[in-house]
Structure 1
Amino acid sequence: MFTDFHCALTWLKDKHIIKKAAVAAAHDIDVLTSVVSARREGILDAVLIGDAGKIRSYLEQLGEKTDQWEIVDEQNEVQAARHTAVLVAEKKVDMPMKGLLQTSTFLKALLDKSLGLIAENGLISQITVFHYPQASRLMLVTDCAINVAPDYSKKLKIMQNAVSLCHKLGIDKPKVAVIAPLELVNPDIQATSDAAMLTLANMRGQIKNCIVDGPLGFDNAVSLAAARHKGIESKVAGYADILLMPDLGAGNILDKSLRYFAGYQTAGVVAGGKVPIIATSRSDSAENKLNSIVLSVLQSL
C-alpha cells in the first residue's frame, strides 16, 4: 500500500514505467513545472499543446532545451482541448492533461461520443487524493468537480470509480464512508437515504470489494474518538479510505479546505473513462499537479 505520493513515485521509477500525455493549454508555469519534473523523474513524456511562444519561454525558465520537446502551437483553448482528445483517441498518447483552461471546455472535448473515450454506460467522476499525515496514509474524497447533485445510481458509480483507484493504490478492500449532515436516516435529507441504501446494498453483496457505511458525519468518518463519543459502532468510522460526498458543493469545499486550511498535499484525477484523465484545478500548485501525474500514471497500469 502506498502511504504517500513520494512512495508511489518511487515505485513507478523502480519499475521503469513511463507514459505519454497530451497537455491541453500547456502555457502555464505550474503545469509545465509539474510535467518537466515528471519527465526528469522518468515517468512521463508529453506533447505540449497551446501558445507555443509562452510554452518555449517557460521551458527555458525551467532550464529545458525547447527543441527536445514536442510542441503544438494552438492558442484557441477549445481547439487545444480537441487536439488533445484526438491524440488520446488515436492512441498516440496514453492520457490527457488539463492545462490553463476551463474544466468544462477540457471535458467537453473528451466526452465527444465519436472519440469513444468513455464507455457507453460509464460515468466519469473526479477524485481528490490527499496525504493524511496524522495517519501516514492516503485518503480519497469524491466527487469534488464534475457531478453536481448525484442520485443513488450515480453515487454508486462514483464510489466504484474510487474503489478501483484504491485497488491501484494497494488498498485491497477500501472502507467507504458515505458522508451526510447526520448519522440517522432522515427522509427530508436525501443524502442520508442514499447512504443507507448504499450500505444495505454492500451488506447484501450487491456492492463488492469494499466496506461501506453511512450515513456518517464527516467527524465520525475520520475520527474514531468522535464515533465512539456518539456511540457509533462501525468498521468504517475513524478508518475511512474513501469519503463519498453528498454533492459537488460539499466535495469542492472540502477539497479546497484540505489544501488552503490544512495545507495537505493533494492530487486530482478523473476516473471512469477508458484512460486516466489528469484534471487539476488551475490554482493547484506545481507539486499537487505532479502528484496528479503520478497517480494517473499509476491508474493507467
Structure 2
Amino acid sequence: MDEPLSPSPPGLAEIIGRARGREPIRVAVVHPCDELSLRAALDARQAGLIDPILVAPRARLEQAARELGGSLEGVQTLDAPHSHAAAEQAVALVRAGGAEALMKGSLHTDELMGAVVAREGLRTSRRVSHCYLLQTPHYPRPFIVTDAAINIAPDLEQKADIIRNAIDLAHAIGVAEPRVAILAAVETVNAAMPATLDAAALCKMADRGQISGALLDGPLAFDNAISIAAARAKGIRSEVAGRADILVVPDLESGNMLAKQLMFLGEAASAGIVLGARVPIILTSRADAYETRMASCALALLLAHHYRSSPP
C-alpha cells in the first residue's frame, strides 16, 4: 500500500494540447442543425482537432449558421433529408473510409446509435460503451467512469467489453497499465449482491488473460477505490485500491449519477467518448461546456490515431 504511485496520466488540458500536435481527423458530424452543435464542430475545426463533414439538411445547416453568425465556407457538407437519413449517411461514409470518427449533432442519441449498431453499421465484436474522462481538484489524476450513458444493465460479458473499451481509451491517452476498480456497495463478495459476483468474476477473467492490458480489482466500494486512507482503514491490500484510473460502475443509473455528481458538485472537468464501434463516437450533451466539447474531440483524435495501429 505504501509503494510510490505510477506517473500520473495527462490532464484534460494536456490531452487537448497533445491532440493539437497531431494531424486532424475527418469527422462525420451528424445533423448539427442547432447553434450549439454546429458551433462545437466549427470550433473543433478552428482548434485544429477535426476536419468536419456536416451531414444534414442543407437548408437547416444554413439557418443554423446564420443564427450562429458563422460561415460554412470551406466546410464539406452532405445533404440529407432528415436526421435519420443523416445518421445512415454518416455511418456509410465511415464504412467507405471517408471519416475516422462520428460526432453527434442535434439528434437523439438512440437515433445515432441505432445506425451505428445496425447490421450494415459500424459494429465490431465488442459491445459499444461510453466513457467519461473526468478530472477533479479533489483527486490527484484524471480517471475514467464507465458505462454511464449506453448500457443500462450490463451482464458479465458486456461488463468485460466495457472494461476492454476503457482500457483502450487509457492506452490511447498514455496510461500504459491502468488500474481498474470494479465498483459495488461493499468490498467483499456477497451472494445477495450481483455486482460483487460480477466483480469477482471479472478479476478472475483478468487473471486468465481474458481481459488484458490493465490491473483489475473488485469489488471495491467507491471510497476504497479512490482513497488510500479508506482502503487502509478496511485492511484492503491492493495495487488498485485508492488510486484507480478506471471506475467500472454496476449499471447506467449508478454511473450516470456518479459522473454528474462529480461534474456538478465535485468541480470535475469532463470529456466523453463512445468506444467499441469501428471508430470513436463523440457524444456530447446540450449541457456540455466548451472545454468538454473540445476535450471530447481531442479524445476522438487520439483514439483514431491509436486505432490506425491497433484497430478495435
- Would you call these one fold, judging by a TM-score over 0.5? yes
The Cα of 1:288 is off from its aligned counterpart by: 1.1
CA distance in 2, matches of 1:149, 1:65: 43
- The equivalent of 2:99 in structure 1 is 93
Q: Which residue of 2 aligns with 1:166?
A: 170
Q: 1:66 aligns to what SS in structure 2?
A: coil
- SS at structure 2 position matched to 1:140: strand
Partner in structure 1 of residue 123 of structure 2: 118
Comparing 72-81 with 249-258, greater Cα deviation is found at: 72-81
Structure 2 vs 1, CA of residues 229 and 2 (structure 1 numbering), >3 Å: closer, same or farther? Answer: closer
The CA distance in 2 between the partners of 1:28 and 1:140, in whole Å, is: 29
Give the number of aligned pairs.
298
**Corresponding residue number in structure 2 for 1:13:** 20
1:102 corresponds to:
108
1:3 matched to 2:10? The reply is: yes
- Is 2:232 aligned against 1:225? no
Instruction: Give yes or no for contact 1:5–1:294 (8 Å, CA) kept in 2.
Output: no
Task: Give the Å deviation of 1:23.
Answer: 1.0
Shift in CA distance, 202/122, structure 1 to aligned 2, threshold 3 Å: closer
- Amino acid corresponding to residue 118 of structure 1 in structure 2: R
Q: String of CA shifts for 1:19-56, please: whole Å, max 9, x gaps.
A: 01111120232322322222112121111223544533
State the alpha-carbon separation in 2 of the partners of residues 56 and 139 from structure 1: 39
1:55 to 36, 61, 78: 61
What CA RMSD, in Å, does the superposition of the two structures yield over aligned residues?
Answer: 1.9
Q: Does 1:26 align with 2:9?
A: no
Q: Name structure 1 gaps, 5 residues minimum.
A: none
How far apart are residue 235 of structure 1 and its match?
0.9
* Per-residue deviation, 1:92: 1.4
Match of 2:133 among 123, 129, 134: 129
Return the offset for 1:218: 0.8
Cα 1:42–1:268 shift into 2, 3 Å: same
Give the structure-2-normalised TM-score.
0.89
> Could you tell me how far apart the structure 1 residues matched to 2:72 and 2:156 are?
49
Per the TM alignment, residue 230 of structure 1 is displaced from its structure 2 partner at its CA by 1.9
The one-character-per-residue Cα deviations of 1:43-73 (angstroms, maximum 9, x if unpaired) are 2111122354453354456564322222344
Q: Which amino acid aligns with 1:209?
A: G
SS of residue matched to 1:67: coil
Q: Secondary structure at the match of 2:152?
A: coil
For residues 36 and 2 of structure 1, the distance between their equivalents in structure 2, rounded to whole angstroms, comes to 28
Shift of 1:190: 0.5
1:143 and 2:154 are equivalent in the alignment: no
Separation in 1, partners of 2:151, 2:210: 23
Residue pair 2:32, 2:105 contacting (<8 A) in 1 also: yes
Letter in 1 for 2:15: A
| Higher mean displacement: 202-211 or 222-231 | 202-211
- 1:257 corresponds, among 243, 258, 261, to 261
Summarize the alignment of residues 59-98 of structure 1 with structure 2, pairs less than 5 Å apart: 59-60=65-66, 64-74=70-80, 76-98=82-104
Where structure 2 has 5 or more consecutive residues not aligned to the other structure, the ranges are 1-7, 306-312
Deviation at 1:110, TM superposition (A): 1.2
Q: Give the superposition deviation at 1:261.
A: 2.0
Contact 1:25/1:75 (<8 A) preserved: no
Q: Deviations over 1:184-238 (max 9, x none)?
A: 1111110000101112232344432211110001111111121122222211111
- 1:87 and 1:58, CA in 2 relative to 1: closer, same or farther beyond 3 A? same
Contact persistence 2:130–2:273 (CA under 8 A): yes
The within-5 A match list for 1:175-194 is 175-194=179-198
In the alignment, which residue of structure 1 is the partner of 2:309?
Answer: none
What is the TM-score with the length of structure 1 in the denominator?
Answer: 0.92
Of 240-249 and 261-270, deviating more is 261-270
Q: State how far apart, in whole Å, the 2-side matches of 1:71 and 1:281 are.
A: 22
SS state of the match for residue 216, structure 2? strand
Work out whether residues 135 and 142 of structure 2, in 8 Å CA contact, stay in contact via their aligned partners in 1. Answer: yes
Per the alignment, residue 276 of structure 1 pairs with 280
1:1-22 deviation per Cα after TM superposition (whole angstroms, max 9, x unaligned): 652222122222223x110111
